[in-house]
Amino acid sequence: MAWEHSAGEMKGSDKKAPKKISHVTVKHAANGGHIITHHHTHPMDHDDEHHTTKGDAAMMAHMQQAMPDQNPPAADPNADPNAAAGAPPDAAAGAPPAAAPAGM
């Protein structure tokens, strides 16, 4: 896609690449809020965008709105709340791993 865009530039085409966020940077602001900068996949066509928020909750809401495909997956409502994160079910119950020697 970038190649096609570059070829169009050399031909004199004024067609811009689609505006898509490549990555986001976040800095603390002096007022306690945050400065969020959106960097785009084609910076030659789309300048960085700077946004400001007040507080952590507003920053998280902005991030979820700006990059919804980057949000962590929702928790499984059927998951065992006593299970250790990332551990097999037996480990959460306190049983030794299957490969552990019997005396451990």
Quick one: pLDDT at residue 78?
Answer: 72
Task: Indicate the pTM of the whole model.
Answer: 0.51
Round to whole Å and give the CA distance between 80 and 32: 38
How many helices (H) and strands (E) would you count in the chain? Answer: 3, 3
Taking 90 as the threshold, does the pLDDT of residue 50 lie above it? Answer: yes
Quick one: pLDDT at residue 24?
Answer: 86
Quick one: pLDDT at residue 72?
Answer: 59
Of residues 22 and 99, the one with the higher pLDDT is: 22
Quick one: pLDDT at residue 48?
Answer: 92
- 10-32: pLDDT as tens digits: 555 678 888 888 888 899 999 88
